[in-house]
Amino acid sequence: MNAKSVESSDRNERLRSIDVPLTVATALMLAFGVVMVYSASSYSAEVNYGNEYFFMTKQIVGCVGGAASMTLFALLDYRKLKKARWFILGVGVLLLALVLIPGVGVENYGARRWLNLGVTTLQSSEVAKVCFVVFAAAYMSDRQKKMTTVRGWLPLTAVGLGMCVLIMLEPSMSVTICLALVMLTMLVMGGMRLLHMLFVLLPLVAAAVVLVLVEPYRLSRLFAFLDPWSSPLGEGYQLLQSYYALGSGGLFGVGLFNSRQKYLYLPFAESDFIFSVIGEELGLIGCAAVMAGYCFIVFRLISIARRAADRFGCYIAGGMAALVGIQVLINIAVVSGCIPPTGIPLPLISSGSSALVVFCGGIGICQSVRLRSHASVRALL
């Protein structure tokens, strides 16, 4: 390959097309989310707000915001994010800290997770997760050779654990676990030795045990998930209601908008337990389609990572793939009673505009990586 042809191919391919299948899949997920949020929340919205479109309207606004942020971040050269890594990390940590200040953070269901922005509320941890992914990608791409050593990964792990502690203080166990798993996945991508992984995992397991011991209600929630029938009106309630929804859905579901569980039986039907409503209305077939959709998105993100022009782009796309995949896995595992119930929304579908904007923004960054992935670099792979 001579220099000229490289030059011309560079010019031609300097701005590759965005990943169209990923865009379509993301848009479909968002649209499906709007429909499901409406279906799951119309009754509770009518009862609580006197407006059956309450959550749906917010979801549409969130989608618009998401589309805007996706476009914005796709156009923005992702490499600028690398330079701003400390600022981004600072924003993430600041948001997590602010939310803990009484008066600034809005308390809901016994946890302080939202920042009051006047017109809307912002869930700090949603933003912080993506901030961490960007920072970790920047950090690892700078120190790729050292990542196999303890000195290489330890500072990043410390930052990640620090953020986990802040999230834990809200408290939000599920986001903590999600972030910790994303961090581990990124460390694996970054080349961390698998033996070293144990050094990270062991303290994490120990921390989990300590958390359970410090707040015994977590223990009872743990048991509730193992045998929800033993406390059908107490700890096992949420899970049973989710089971009822999934179980009555069967193979083909009871039909869109026909959920019975959404009549306030299923708590958080429009957010954390929206997958139960999907299972009830659209059955196993619908669940399979949704899971396939997520798998598709994750694999497209991984493929962007594999074709990225630089390590930063690679790690950022890999991190986003991990973030989406892990959060979906945790959500479905909770809903289907595989792990203790913990509140975590389903990306792109669950009600919640800050999460929508953040996930769309994350996917936009990945699109930016794809736009700027270089044929010459790909040739190296």
Q: How many CA atoms lie within 13 A of 263 on its CB side?
A: 4
**Is the CB of 199 or the CB of 299 nearer to other proteins?**
299
Smallest separation (angstroms) from other proteins to the CB of 200: 16
Residue with tokens 């389609």: 289
The rounded distance, in Å, linking the Cα atoms of 350 and 70 is 18
Nearest to 368 by CA among 7, 23, 6, 12: 23
Question: Which of 158, 206, 210, 288 touches other proteins by CB under 8 A?
Answer: 288
The rounded distance, in Å, linking the Cα atoms of 20 and 363 is 12
Through-space distance between the first and last CA atoms of the chain, rounded to whole angstroms: 16
**Is the CB of 283 or the CB of 352 nearer to other proteins?**
283
Interface stretch with other proteins, choices 15-23, 131-139, 240-248, 341-349 (CB under 8 A): 240-248
Smallest separation (angstroms) from other proteins to the CB of 253: 9
- Mask 1-40, x = binds other proteins (CB under 8 A)? ----------------------------------------
Cross-strand partners of 106: 114
Question: Which of 93, 164, 189, 348 touches other proteins by CB under 8 A?
Answer: 189
Q: Which of residues 334-363 bind other proteins (CB under 8 A)?
A: 336-338
| Sheet strand arrangement including 105-108 | 105-108, 111-116, 121-123
- Tokens for 9, please give them: 């191919």
Residue with tokens 């509730």: 224
**Is the CB of 114 or the CB of 273 nearer to other proteins?**
273
245 binds other proteins, rule: CB under 8 A: yes
Smallest separation (angstroms) from other proteins to the CB of 245: 8
Answer for the pair 282, 253: CB distance below 8 angstroms, yes or no. yes
At residue 119's C-alpha, the angle toward residues 115 and 121, to 5°, is: 25
Smallest separation (angstroms) from other proteins to the CB of 328: 8
Contacts 24+ apart (CB under 8 A), 113-118: 113/170, 113/172
Phi and psi for 120 in degrees, rounded to 5? Answer: -140, 175
Q: Which of residues 208-237 bind other proteins (CB under 8 A)?
A: none
The rounded distance, in Å, linking the Cα atoms of 221 and 67 is 37
**Is the CB of 43 or the CB of 199 nearer to other proteins?**
43
Interface stretch with other proteins, choices 13-21, 55-63, 149-157, 315-323 (CB under 8 A): 315-323
**Is the CB of 154 or the CB of 264 nearer to other proteins?**
264
**Is the CB of 159 or the CB of 298 nearer to other proteins?**
298
175 binds other proteins, rule: CB under 8 A: no
The rounded distance, in Å, linking the Cα atoms of 190 and 109 is 37
**Is the CB of 114 or the CB of 243 nearer to other proteins?**
243
291 binds other proteins, rule: CB under 8 A: yes
Question: Which of 1, 20, 198, 380 touches other proteins by CB under 8 A?
Answer: 380
At residue 223's C-alpha, the angle toward residues 221 and 224, to 5°, is: 60
Task: Outline where 227-352 has alpha helix (H).
Answer: 237-249, 274-306, 311-335
Q: Which of residues 33-92 bind other proteins (CB under 8 A)?
A: 43, 47
Residues that bind other proteins (CB under 8 A): 43, 47, 144-145, 185, 188-191, 240, 243-251, 260-261, 263-265, 279, 283-284, 287-288, 291, 294-295, 298-299, 302, 305-306, 311, 314, 318, 321-322, 325-326, 329, 332-333, 336-338, 380-381
